[in-house]
Chain A
Amino acid sequence: MAAAAATAATKGNGGGSGRVGAGDSSGARKKKGPGPVATAYLVIYNVVMTAGWLVIAVGLVRAYLAKGSYHSLYYSIERPLKFFQTGALLEILHCAIGIVPSSVVLTSFQVMSRVFLIWAVTHSVKEVQSEDSVLLFVIAWTITEIIRYSFYTFSLLNHLPYIIKWARYTLFIVLYPMGVTGELLTIYAALPFVRQAGLYSISLPNKYNFSFDYHAFLILIMISYIPLFPQLYFHMIHQRRKVLSHTEEHKKFE
């Protein structure tokens, strides 16, 4: 869900910078944050993740050039995508132990929604893997994550290039709608196969006296995008105005 990245932007998920607005405009200002060991670990983590998503990006490009078509590119990046997206679960841990000043609940929601899409939808319903919609969210995620993780890396090192910051607060305008569209279309494409196979569903009668309809659950998830996406998208736009205008003000005083 693009929502994941949208909220992460303001919370400093995965990075130690935390306060995006105030911290970014003045590198000289002292920031409260993790200690040196935690910082070193976080730098390594963010570098590895940046590299990981770059591998996925390069994989996509090479596969496209080799095939001459964008259909079914998912198969060429499936494994690293699963690995690095699932690896993001560590970010929940980072928040929980306090080396990253973000909400555990918020971070969990962001990461789990993506892990869910990867494993419970795309991985589980083989038929959707060749859908173009998968490519839509994979490309959106890849670009977003390369920017996000490099943003955190540079922030932790107290040397954030303007181009990275600009990219962080500008490209989402296109990437989030693109990602969300891909996510929704993928879930939608999975629905008939889920219903047909009774995937991950429990029916009555059984001794637990409980039932679960995965098909209905997926529909519920799709519906939940309606209230959630606009909220996060416009929050990011608001954040953009704040952050990029800080830079302008900063320049005026120089």
Chain B
Amino acid sequence: MKHYEVEIRDAKTREKLCFLDKVEPQATISEIKTLFTKTHPQWYPARQSLRLDPKGKSLKDEDVLQKLPVGTTATLYFRDLGAQISWVTVFLTEYAGPLFIYLLFYFRVPFIYGRKYDFTSSRHTVVHLACMCHSFHYIKRLLETLFVHRFSHGTMPLRNIFKNCTYYWGFAAWMAYYINHPLYTPPTYGVQQVKLALAVFVICQLGNFSIHMALRDLRPAGSKTRKIPYPTKNPFTWLFLLVSCPNYTYEVGSWIGFAILTQCVPVALFSLVGFTQMTIWAKGKHRSYLKEFRDYPPLRMPIIPFLL
């Protein structure tokens, strides 16, 4: 049986880093990364990007050596992706921040609103309701991260977490400041506005959760098989008939509900920014569904039925 030789070079300097002889033809990129780690322990598999050209696309872990366009001596180019952090850690950090930061403002800890307001409580019912909604939302996200979501790619570059946390934590602090402010003004239309907004929020949270469960059940743990998501018996999943990413639709809906509930400009801005970002993701997802599945339902739009 023929064996391969694999030479690994630095993508920038072209310096030879490693030479592996007698590599099995059926070896996967993942296995090659493991072998490479033996000689260079600081570059653990998750932070290795191996490609056929110095500036080419990263090879997938499951790619098989003998199926690549290489001779019996393969040259692969290595790039360090930097320190990696697991998706679970990322999400737990991103979501725990808003939860606790918001509560700091809610309880009016010192140095925020002036001494005479320290540890006082808002006199508006809607403010307490808003705190419950906000906390519920992020607790839900934390629990989903732990028990519902499955993550296809194992890790993300460490440096991204600072950007993501700035966004989530910053907006949380900003909206919390105004909602819990002693000079907060309740919604213009009073109880009716609050009730309507709360209904929107709750429905959308339930919808979002339902979609997450449906997506999770779409594939068994550990599998990478991809399928078209379809509506189930749960009515909240019926939005799949019209939308590719109903989880984003419901997410935006939740924040719109929260914005109406609190009548607070920073919340509206957060909703707008979130909507923009989720639209980008949804369009990307929609495009990849269309590319991958010939029989993909034509009626579906990325994030908003019939429109967008």
Residues of A at the B interface (CB closer than 8 Å) are 204-211
Which chain B residues lie closer than 8 Å to A205 at the CB level? 183-185
- Minimum CB–CB distance from B85 to chain A (whole Å) comes to 27
- Minimum CB–CB distance from A201 to chain B (whole Å) comes to 15
Which chain B residues lie closer than 8 Å to A206 at the CB level? 185
16 A-B contacts, Cβ less than 8 Å apart? A204-B181, A204-B184, A205-B184, A205-B185, A207-B263, A208-B263, A208-B264, A209-B184, A209-B262, A209-B263, A209-B264, A209-B265, A210-B178, A210-B264, A210-B266, A211-B178
In the complex, A34 Cα to B110 Cα: how many Å?
Answer: 59
Which chain A residues lie closer than 8 Å to B178 at the CB level? 204, 209-211
Q: Are A209 and B188 touching (Cβ within 8 A)?
A: no
Interface of B is mostly: loop
Top 7 A-B pairs, shortest CB-CB distance: A210-B265, A204-B183, A205-B183, A209-B264, A209-B178, A208-B265, A205-B185
Which chain A residues lie closer than 8 Å to B265 at the CB level? 208-210
Interface of A is mostly: loop
Which chain B residues lie closer than 8 Å to A211 at the CB level? 178
Interface presence of B179 (CB below 8 A): yes
Other than the known A208-B265, A209-B264, what 10 A-B pairs have Cβ atoms closer than 8 Å?
Answer: A204-B183, A205-B183, A206-B185, A207-B188, A208-B264, A209-B184, A209-B262, A209-B263, A210-B178, A210-B265
Which chain B residues lie closer than 8 Å to A209 at the CB level? 178-179, 181, 184-185, 262-265
Residues of B at the A interface (CB closer than 8 Å) are 178-179, 181, 183-185, 188, 262-266
Which chain B residues lie closer than 8 Å to A207 at the CB level? 185, 188, 263
In the complex, A63 Cα to B262 Cα: how many Å?
Answer: 56
In the complex, A209 Cα to B188 Cα: how many Å?
Answer: 11
- Minimum CB–CB distance from B166 to chain A (whole Å) comes to 16
In the complex, A65 Cα to B265 Cα: how many Å?
Answer: 52
In the complex, A208 Cα to B185 Cα: how many Å?
Answer: 8
- Minimum CB–CB distance from B116 to chain A (whole Å) comes to 16
Which chain B residues lie closer than 8 Å to A204 at the CB level? 178, 181, 183-185
Chain B residue nearest in CB terms to A212: B265
Chain B residue nearest in CB terms to A204: B183
Chain A residue nearest in CB terms to B178: A209
In the complex, A104 Cα to B265 Cα: how many Å?
Answer: 27
In the complex, A208 Cα to B181 Cα: how many Å?
Answer: 12
- Minimum CB–CB distance from B65 to chain A (whole Å) comes to 41
In the complex, A204 Cα to B265 Cα: how many Å?
Answer: 12
- Minimum CB–CB distance from B194 to chain A (whole Å) comes to 14
In the complex, A206 Cα to B179 Cα: how many Å?
Answer: 12
In the complex, A207 Cα to B183 Cα: how many Å?
Answer: 10
- Minimum CB–CB distance from A212 to chain B (whole Å) comes to 10
Which chain B residues lie closer than 8 Å to A210 at the CB level? 178, 264-266
In the complex, A205 Cα to B266 Cα: how many Å?
Answer: 15
In the complex, A209 Cα to B262 Cα: how many Å?
Answer: 8
Listed residue (A204, A206, A207, A209) with the most chain B CB atoms within 10 angstroms of its CB: A209
In the complex, A114 Cα to B155 Cα: how many Å?
Answer: 42
In the complex, A207 Cα to B264 Cα: how many Å?
Answer: 8
In the complex, A208 Cα to B260 Cα: how many Å?
Answer: 11
- Minimum CB–CB distance from A104 to chain B (whole Å) comes to 16
Listed residue (A205, A206, A208, A210) with the most chain B CB atoms within 10 angstroms of its CB: A210
- Minimum CB–CB distance from A210 to chain B (whole Å) comes to 4
In the complex, A208 Cα to B263 Cα: how many Å?
Answer: 6
- Minimum CB–CB distance from B17 to chain A (whole Å) comes to 32
- Minimum CB–CB distance from A132 to chain B (whole Å) comes to 39
Chain A residue nearest in CB terms to B175: A209
In the complex, A208 Cα to B183 Cα: how many Å?
Answer: 11
- Minimum CB–CB distance from B239 to chain A (whole Å) comes to 31
In the complex, A205 Cα to B123 Cα: how many Å?
Answer: 14
In the complex, A205 Cα to B183 Cα: how many Å?
Answer: 5
Chain B residue nearest in CB terms to A202: B265
In the complex, A26 Cα to B185 Cα: how many Å?
Answer: 65
- Minimum CB–CB distance from A202 to chain B (whole Å) comes to 9
- Minimum CB–CB distance from A48 to chain B (whole Å) comes to 36
Which chain A residues lie closer than 8 Å to B188 at the CB level? 207
Which chain A residues lie closer than 8 Å to B264 at the CB level? 208-210
Listed residue (B179, B262, B264) with the most chain A CB atoms within 10 angstroms of its CB: B264
Which chain A residues lie closer than 8 Å to B262 at the CB level? 209
Which chain B residues lie closer than 8 Å to A208 at the CB level? 263-265
In the complex, A205 Cα to B188 Cα: how many Å?
Answer: 13
In the complex, A207 Cα to B185 Cα: how many Å?
Answer: 6
